[in-house]
Structure 1
Amino acid sequence: MAFFQSGKEIRYALYSQKPPQGQSANTSDIAENFTSNAKQGFIHRIDVMGNIMTNPVTENRRHYEDLVVGEIIPLGTTKVTKAMITTFATEFDPFPFHLDEKAAKKSLLGGLASSGWQTAALSLRMLVDAFLSKIASAGGLGFDDLKWKTPVMKGDTIGGTVTITALRRTQSRPEWGIVTLTFDITNQKGQPVMSMVLNNLIEVRDPAAPVEGATE
């Protein structure tokens, strides 16, 4: 948040409002607005000319306006080793078929297999490297329709793609967009091992720009 004064006029900008464009308010109004909006995370910085300033961390990354429904993001691949499986399982998912090869051979899986949560975590890491670290992401909002389709066994290599399947903004929070990402993860044989739908929050470069189809 930044304030500057020109004569008796104090200009300001809030995420929840359009750029100031010469608007003014008295100091008590500003203080009230600042306190209310700061609590909700709406505060936006402005420069000395009253223009909205971009986030310095993400200003050179892709924003909501740069994304297109149907875009396919290749994830690359990751080889899942015995050490990776047992290390993860020891801490997070200590079932015998993730920890002990003899026990795993007698299980439904037929061998040492990765935890499904490890498969999801490895897939997310590949998405961060390939995509999320290159956009103005503000974090995940949750996932839907998670399915583990084929066990990931010791020595398997997993990879795949993520597709942008939806983009939306809301009237109430125009500074943020939501990108829906659909995972299609396979092993080295081309067998599907996991699918998932992730919703991620992303910055809008120009919150004042109208967007067709915006919801409340």
Structure 2
Amino acid sequence: MKFKDFKVGMVISHPPIEVDEAEMLAFAKAYDPQWFHVDPERARKGRWGGLIASGWMTCGLAMRMAAQAALEGSESFGSPGLERLRWMAPVRPGDWLRLEATVDALRVSASRDDLGIMRWTWRVYNQDDVQVFEGEATNLFELEVD
């Protein structure tokens, strides 16, 4: 989508993607090697009753879905970050996650008329419609100036 195609209040969706256990374990071993992410036997006996995905992997999956659903082919060139990052429920191997992203604000920079700024809230739900993730992202867009 192009910056001009986004509208405040619009909801952008991505269909469900499956959380693969091998990918989940590989990610956790590389980036978040806490026992409840990497040790199936210990995790089974722990508070969560089994392995759960790293929240950072969930964030990465949300990014992938946002890019595929809205940013591919756009003028987006980066982001200054996320705010209100929340992991609300555990994500498990075999879960199916889907994205619903709501455009909260759009503006052209006051100091640079070639810079578009979009703030949007990403919400990720599992196959049972339980919300597992929420984050407010800001994306920057390179605009053509007439």
Interval containing the TM-score (normalised by the shorter chain): over 0.9
- Structure 1 runs of 4+ off > 4 angstroms? none
The match for 2:38 among 71, 93, 99 is: 99
- Paired with 2:10 and 2:133, the residues of 1 have a C-alpha distance of 19
| 1:189 equivalent in alignment to 2:128 | yes
Shift of the 160–171 alpha-carbon distance from structure 1 to 2, 3 Å rule, reads closer
Aligned partner of residue 134 in structure 1, secondary structure: coil
Q: Which stretches in structure 1 are left out of the alignment for 5+ residues?
A: 1-60, 209-216
Please report how far the alpha carbon of residue 205 of structure 1 lies from its aligned counterpart in structure 2 after TM superposition: 3.1
Please report how far the alpha carbon of residue 204 of structure 1 lies from its aligned counterpart in structure 2 after TM superposition: 2.2
Query: Which residue of 2 is the match for residue 87 of structure 1?
Result: 26
Q: For the Cα contact (< 8 Å) 2:78–2:141, is it kept in 1?
A: yes
Post-superposition CA distance 1:29-66 (Å, at most 9, x none)? xxxxxxxxxxxxxxxxxxxxxxxxxxxxxxxx61x333
- Paired with 1:131 and 1:77, the residues of 2 have a C-alpha distance of 15
Alignment of 1:1-216 (within 5 A): 62=2, 64-206=3-145
* Bigger relative CO (Cα 8 Å, ≥ 6 apart): 2
Q: For the Cα contact (< 8 Å) 2:125–2:131, is it kept in 1?
A: yes
Q: For the Cα contact (< 8 Å) 2:65–2:99, is it kept in 1?
A: no
The TM-score normalised by the length of structure 2 is: 0.94
Q: RMSD of the TM alignment (CA)?
A: 1.3
Query: Quick one: which amino acid aligns to residue 43 of structure 2?
Result: A
Q: Please identify which structure carries the higher strand content.
A: 2
The TM-score normalised by the length of structure 1 is: 0.65
Post-superposition CA distance 1:109-131 (Å, at most 9, x none)? 21111000000001101111111
Query: Quick one: which amino acid aligns to residue 118 of structure 1?
Result: M
- Paired with 2:66 and 2:6, the residues of 1 have a C-alpha distance of 15
Higher alpha-carbon Rg: 1
Q: For the Cα contact (< 8 Å) 1:139–1:202, is it kept in 2?
A: yes
How many residue pairs end up in the alignment? 146
- Paired with 2:68 and 2:7, the residues of 1 have a C-alpha distance of 19
Please report how far the alpha carbon of residue 170 of structure 1 lies from its aligned counterpart in structure 2 after TM superposition: 2.3
Aligned partner of residue 78 in structure 2, secondary structure: strand
Please report how far the alpha carbon of residue 101 of structure 1 lies from its aligned counterpart in structure 2 after TM superposition: 1.1
Q: Which stretches in structure 2 are left out of the alignment for 5+ residues?
A: none
